[in-house]
Amino acid sequence: MKRRDFLAATAASALPLACRRKPEFSFPGELMGPDLPLGHWVRGGIFPDPGCFEPVSVLIVGGGVAGLSAAWRLAGAGLDDFQVLELEAAPGGTSRSAQNHVSPYPWAAHYLPVPDRGNHAVLRLLKECGVLEGFNAKGDPLFAEEATVRAPEERLFAYGQWWEGLYLRAGSSTEDERQYHTFFAEVDRWAAFKDTKGRPAFSIPRSRCSDAPEARALDSLSFATWLEARGLDSPRLRWLLDYACRDDYGSRLETTSAWAGLFYFAARKQGPGEDSRPLLTWPQGNGFFIDHLRQASGERLHCGVMATAIRPDGKDLLVTAWDVPNQRRLGFRAQRVIFAGPQHVARHVIEGFSAARPASTRIRNAPWLVANLTLRARPPEAGFPLAWDNVLRDSEALGYVVATHQSLRDHGPTIWTWYRPFAGPDCDAERARLRAMDWPACARMVMDDLRPAHPDLEKLVTRLDVMRWGHAMVRPAPGLLWDPEFLALTLPFGGIHFAHTELSGLALFEEAQDHGLRAAEEVLAALSHGGGSWR
Amino acid sequence: MSEPIEQSQPALKAPLLFISVLLIASCGLIYELVAGTLSSYLLGDSVTQFSTVIGVYLSAMGLGSWLSKFLNRGLARRFVDLELAVALVGGFSAPILFQAFAHTHAFRVVLYSVVMAVGTLVGLEIPILMRILKDQVRFKDLVAGVLTLDYIGALFASLLFPLLLMPKLGLVRTSLLFGLLNAAVGLWSTHLLKSQLGVTTWIRFRCLAVMALLALGLAFAGKFTLAVEEEIFADEIVYARDSDYQRIVLTRGRGSFQLFLNGNLQFSSADEYRYHEALVHPAFGLRPDAKRVLVCGGGDGLAVREVLKHPSVQEVVLVDLDPAMTDMASKQPMVRLLNGAALDDPRVKVINADAMVWLQETSGAPFDLAFVDFPDPNTYALGKLYTSRFYRLLQRRLTEDGMITVQSTSPLMARQSFWCITATMEASGLKVRPFHLAVPSFGVWGFALASKHDFEVPSRVLPGLRHLSDEATAAMFAFPKDMDRVPTEVNRLDNQVLVHLYAREWRRWS
């Protein structure tokens, strides 16, 4: 598809909207990127070489958390001869954020569990951002009060009213309670696990996790099967765990590895029998980190630039790219490339990659729909008051997060970020479904979902913007996470080093950062640019 | 039709009488719903209230049906009278019950009597109407028609009540409106049953009188709601306003007046001087030359009044969330008189903002003194104003030797909450000296005086105050055993322990 055709097609698809007499909704809104046609354009295109190839030591392809973290690491080591190419108009990937007259707000990832004292990379970043305030007498890190999620953190809508917390205690039977405790005793058991080398079974990032056979064995079954084997069939418990799978992995109990299911809970424990780690958040969600990390790249970050081909040339790599805003071809001659994009893009861009790395096709990404609703006021309601995270039990969506919660604004206008993973078993079919949705269809999905809890919400909405994420997060399907061929995808390919959260099989900020640092440190070592590890 | 209908009497308008069945059935159910809702609203425990109201009501209808056999003559006239009786008792049931709650100690007796009376009268309606119609319509058609419309009328009412009537009209207007409808059915019946009634002038006059009475009730329903609230507030309401944030009510009685926010007493003019002198003057005792003063909350202007007694003060910034509150404090004559028009003083600057958001997002010259006078922490939105983060933000806007005083609830009635506030201020890096005094309208009340550096308790205060003297000031800092310090957690934004503590402690006293 040529760009002109694409523009014509977009204009044509907008036409029926413009002709409609009475709009279905009283509020306006926009259907936002990621730029699907542009991204898919790379697949079939033939791109002539540019006139010249600009020499650069390191070229980073991808300006999400992994790419920006790699740049942060290189700059930290004094290696300043690098460039970062980002396809989208703004950096950040799924940690992107935006701002309007009411508040900054996230477009996807919106929190980080506080790191333990062994997660040096995240602690370093938090210290730079002014969030890590010091350490207590036991050596545990202390974090700024304004960055830890303000109470009330979560509430659940069920039986026509809001309840505190996500697990519905009201009306639970003694059997429900027993199973709840049985499950969390199992989590505690795994939180206490140490292998012969002293490594925990579950830790963040997963490069710190034990590869002991008893832990790895969990990956061979689905979370649903694992629960069945323990007789854990309480509907309330299963709802909570299924919610966790949808929230963190975009999949369901049946399509999530039991290892990943336990990872979600055990890796966040402060210790066996202790509470989960508190969460850190900001009005713009993890966009807070992007605002900081992009400073390390400065002028070397180029947005709207799509790498179209990467091929070896002697000891170097030739990278061609398309500068979308300026409509021109670019070329780079790099000593090393850090490919910080997803594997399905690598298959189209890197010469010889798809034949050499068949395992790259095993990665499946769940699509997501995210909506930001700007409200002129909060709806009046009964029951437990508005929290940070507001979840509707009888819904395929995940509820909404309140952007003004952390900025302490309890009155007046606000922004709600609503999330819905397309968690059906077939990612491609789900993606096709999402791609077919226009703005009214998306808005209808959002408003229909929220109506049981907020029947009169429409009057308060001043804008509803939606983002369709085709490849929002990798799914940790059973058998993927400890598959040797999958794990080998992190190895360099020629002079190309890989950094992306999907290489962990888990879509987490910490994983993306860890891969970014690993790739950057591989490059630093290869270019004899010494220094210790930040990981 | 196979059986011919006897035409001995002049024909009644049977189909139209069926419509009155529909209307009286709706009215009957509405009275039942009004009583159930009202008793749930006033007494709580809606399951019990609805169950007992429905039970009493239905059994009274049974009683009415049984009693109907003793009425034998002049059924048409009886029916019209019955409609008027239902209209009066049912229509005025909500006002009667509100008054009973406010004035008597026997609300339940009145409640069940009213329910009983309405139920009995409603129980009489259908049997009598059926007997009027029995010669006009075949029995099987009569039973089918009357009962069908009776039940469908109930459906109308049960849908209308929650969806339209309660939200749009409220209880008092709903019950009066349906009383009016009942009386209208009575009036209409005089037309439909004319052939059986004979002369209708007098009975029509009665219908119109009952309708006028109910219409009058409707016209004054707004005033009445306020009057009911007055009974609950015990004194005359002189000002009431729903702002975007709270309900502000000012009452007057027994030689003083009181301010309520969302029904919680904020001050009584009889003893507020004790509270506001204690809030303001001890800090001034330690910093008698303070020039810039911050007041957070305290939109009533009473703390500002005390601040302005100090000639050294050059600038006062009052940050209060609710413009309706500060507006009232500067315009309502009684409050303005009480605060000495403090908010109009040229040294005073009023800012309407959430104090915590204001502290976080603005900067400016530091303050010598800050007075923190928020409502007690009974919601998360208020609880955040008592967190370590708040006190850190406040310290950023304070001079190096600046002082803070925080109203910190009752150390007697909410002992842990009181000491939690002290512990939280300490965790934010402040040195804290808590103190307390008696404010009769509130009970024993507590404050926390604090500074970035250690300090001695004040031993001097401004001369000429009504309550505080040098000796009385020093004495406030001693805590008797039943109010002495207890260990507590620190109230942080991410745990808000104070909201839970406060709710638990005050539940014992309410």
Q: Could you give the CA distance from residue B217 to residue B173 in angstroms, rounded to a whole number?
A: 8
Give Dmax over CA atoms of chain A in angstroms.
73
Length of chain A: 535
- Per-residue pLDDT for chain A (535 aa), expressed as one digit of tens each? 444 454 444 444 544 444 445 678 999 999 987 665 666 666 656 667 788 999 999 999 999 999 999 999 999 999 999 999 999 999 999 999 999 999 999 999 999 999 999 999 999 999 999 999 999 998 889 999 999 999 999 999 998 899 999 999 888 899 999 999 999 999 999 999 999 999 999 999 999 999 999 999 999 999 999 999 999 999 999 999 999 999 999 999 999 999 999 999 999 988 777 888 899 999 999 999 999 999 999 999 999 999 999 999 999 999 999 998 888 899 999 999 999 999 999 999 999 999 999 999 999 999 999 999 999 999 988 789 999 999 999 999 999 999 999 999 999 999 999 999 999 999 999 999 999 999 999 999 999 999 999 999 999 999 999 999 999 999 999 999 999 999 999 999 999 999 999 999 999 999 999 999 999 999 999 999 877 899 9
Q: Could you give the CA distance from residue B121 to residue A291 in angstroms, rounded to a whole number?
A: 74
Q: Could you give the CA distance from residue A296 to residue A127 in angstroms, rounded to a whole number?
A: 15
Predicted pLDDT of residue A335: 97
C-beta of residue B416 within 8 angstroms of C-beta of residue B390: no
Give buried/exposed letters for B370-381 (b at 16+ CB in 10 A, else e). bbbbbbbbbbbb
Q: A408–B384: do the CB atoms touch at under 8 Å?
A: yes
Among the partner-chain residues A151, A407, A408, the one whose CB lies closest to the CB of B494 is A151
Nearest-neighbour CA in chain B from A404: distance (Å): 11
Q: Could you give the CA distance from residue B408 to residue B377 in angstroms, rounded to a whole number?
A: 9
Interface ipTM > 0.90: no
Q: B360–A408: do the CB atoms touch at under 8 Å?
A: yes
Tokens of B225: 């709601």
Which residues from A are below 8 Å from B383, CB to CB? 151
Among the partner-chain residues B321, B379, B388, the one whose CB lies closest to the CB of A145 is B388
- State which amino acid sits at residue A399: G
Q: Name the 3-class secondary structure at A275.
A: coil
Q: Name the 3-class secondary structure at A437.
A: coil
Instruction: Characterize the bridge pairing of strands B256-261 and B264-268.
Output: antiparallel
Nearest-neighbour CA in chain B from A220: distance (Å): 38
Which residues from B are below 8 Å from A381, CB to CB? none
Phi, psi of B4 (to 5 degrees): -75, 145
Substitution target in B380, B390, B425, B428 with the highest count of A β-carbons within 10 Å is: B380
Q: What chain B residue is nearest to A412 in terms of C-alpha separation?
A: B244
C-beta of residue A299 within 8 angstroms of C-beta of residue A339: no
Q: Where are the alpha helices (DSSP H) in A392-508?
A: 427-435, 439-450, 484-487
Tokens of A24: 């279905």
C-beta of residue B328 within 8 angstroms of C-beta of residue B387: no
Active site residue B373: yes
- State which amino acid sits at residue B126: I
Peptide bond into A425 cis (omega under 30): no
Q: Which listed residue (B150, B300, B320, B373) is catalytic?
A: B373
CA angle A322, A325, A326 (to 5 degrees): 75
Q: Could you give the CA distance from residue B156 to residue B30 in angstroms, rounded to a whole number?
A: 10
Which residues from A are below 8 Å from B381, CB to CB? 385, 410-411
Please name the residues in contact with A276: beta carbons below 8 A apart, sequence gap of 6 or more. A113, A265, A268, A269, A270
Predicted pLDDT of residue A43: 61
Give Dmax over CA atoms of chain B in angstroms.
106
Q: A151–B321: do the CB atoms touch at under 8 Å?
A: no
Predicted pLDDT of residue A37: 63
Tokens of B1: 């039709």
Among the partner-chain residues A146, A410, A411, the one whose CB lies closest to the CB of B493 is A146
Q: Could you give the CA distance from residue A510 to residue A535 in angstroms, rounded to a whole number?
A: 11
Predicted pLDDT of residue B38: 78
Give, rounded to a whole angstrom, the gap between the first and last alpha carbons of chain B.
Answer: 69
What count of other Cβ atoms lies within 10 Å of the Cβ of residue A173? 10
User: Chunked in runs of 10, what are the mean pLDDT values of chain B (510 residues)?
Assistant: 42 74 89 85 69 93 93 87 93 85 76 93 90 84 87 88 79 89 91 82 90 90 61 65 85 83 89 96 97 97 97 98 95 90 96 96 96 94 95 97 97 96 97 97 95 96 94 95 96 94 85
B206-to-B82, B92, B190, B492 alpha-carbon distances in Å: 12, 17, 11, 68
Predicted pLDDT of residue B235: 63
Which residues from A are below 8 Å from B492, CB to CB? 145, 148
Nearest-neighbour CA in chain B from A410: distance (Å): 6
In the sheet where B348-352 sits, what is the strand order?
A: B348-352, B315-320, B292-297, B367-373, B398-407, B443-451, B431-439
Q: Which residues of B touch A (CB under 8 A)?
A: 244-245, 321, 354, 356-357, 360, 379-381, 383-384, 387-389, 392, 492-496, 499
Which residues from A are below 8 Å from B357, CB to CB? 407-409
Q: Which of B198, B219, B231 is nearest to B102 (CA)?
A: B231
Q: Is B258 exposed, middle or buried (0-12, 13-18, 19+ CB in 10 A)?
A: buried
Which residues from A are below 8 Å from B388, CB to CB? 145
Global confidence as pTM: 0.76
Q: Where are the alpha helices (DSSP H) in B350-412?
A: 355-361, 380-383, 388-396
Which residues from A are below 8 Å from B356, CB to CB? 408
Q: A148–B354: do the CB atoms touch at under 8 Å?
A: no
Tokens of B42: 């006033």
Among the partner-chain residues A145, A152, A409, the one whose CB lies closest to the CB of B354 is A409
Helix %, strand %, coil % of chain A (to 5): 40, 25, 40
Substitution target in B244, B357, B424, B494 with the highest count of A β-carbons within 10 Å is: B494
Predicted pLDDT of residue B8: 42
Beta bridge partner(s), residue B431: B451
Residue matched to tokens 């891969």: A515
- CA of residue A275 relative to chain centroid, distance: 24
Q: Could you give the CA distance from residue A94 to residue A75 in angstroms, rounded to a whole number?
A: 23
Q: Number of A:B CB contacts under 8 A? A: 50
Predicted pLDDT of residue B454: 97
Tokens of B85: 């009786």
What count of other Cβ atoms lies within 10 Å of the Cβ of residue A134? 8
Q: Is B28 exposed, middle or buried (0-12, 13-18, 19+ CB in 10 A)?
A: buried
Nearest-neighbour CA in chain B from A31: distance (Å): 32
Beta bridge partner(s), residue A329: A322
Nearest-neighbour CA in chain B from A465: distance (Å): 27
Where would I find the beta strands (DSSP E) of B16-154?
none
Predicted pLDDT of residue A35: 62
Q: Which of B211, B179, B204, B180 is nearest to B80 (CA)?
A: B204
Radius of gyration of the CA atoms of chain B, in A: 32
Q: Could you give the CA distance from residue A57 to residue A497 in angstroms, rounded to a whole number?
A: 13
Query: Taking the CA of residue A289 as centre, how many other CA atoms within 13 Å lie in the half-sphere pointing to its CB?
Result: 31
DSSP letter at A209 equals S
Nearest-neighbour CA in chain B from A287: distance (Å): 20
Predicted pLDDT of residue A427: 95
Q: Could you give the CA distance from residue A521 to residue B111 in angstroms, rounded to a whole number?
A: 80
Substitution target in A136, A145, A376, A456 with the highest count of B β-carbons within 10 Å is: A145
Residue matched to tokens 């208020």: B382
Q: B493–A145: do the CB atoms touch at under 8 Å?
A: yes
Predicted pLDDT of residue B4: 41
Give buried/exposed letters for B430-467 (b at 16+ CB in 10 A, else e). bebbbbbbebebbebbbbbbbbbeebebbeebbeebeb
Tokens of B87: 């209209």
Q: Could you give the CA distance from residue B200 to residue B206 in angstroms, rounded to a whole number?
A: 10
Please name the residues in contact with A22: beta carbons below 8 A apart, sequence gap of 6 or more. none
Please name the residues in contact with B2: beta carbons below 8 A apart, sequence gap of 6 or more. none
Q: Could you give the CA distance from residue A196 to residue A189 in angstroms, rounded to a whole number?
A: 16
Among the partner-chain residues B379, B380, B494, the one whose CB lies closest to the CB of A145 is B494
Tokens of B37: 């809702």
Q: Could you give the CA distance from residue A73 to residue A520 in angstroms, rounded to a whole number?
A: 6
Q: B493–A150: do the CB atoms touch at under 8 Å?
A: yes
Give, rounded to a whole angstrom, the gap between the first and last alpha carbons of chain A.
Answer: 43
DSSP letter at B414 equals T
Radius of gyration of the CA atoms of chain A, in A: 23
DSSP letter at B164 equals I
What count of other Cβ atoms lies within 10 Å of the Cβ of residue B509? 10
Nearest-neighbour CA in chain A from B184: distance (Å): 35
Q: Could you give the CA distance from residue B340 to residue A313 in angstroms, rounded to a whole number?
A: 86
Q: A149–B494: do the CB atoms touch at under 8 Å?
A: yes
C-beta of residue A191 within 8 angstroms of C-beta of residue A271: yes
Q: Could you give the CA distance from residue B434 to residue A89 in angstroms, rounded to a whole number?
A: 56
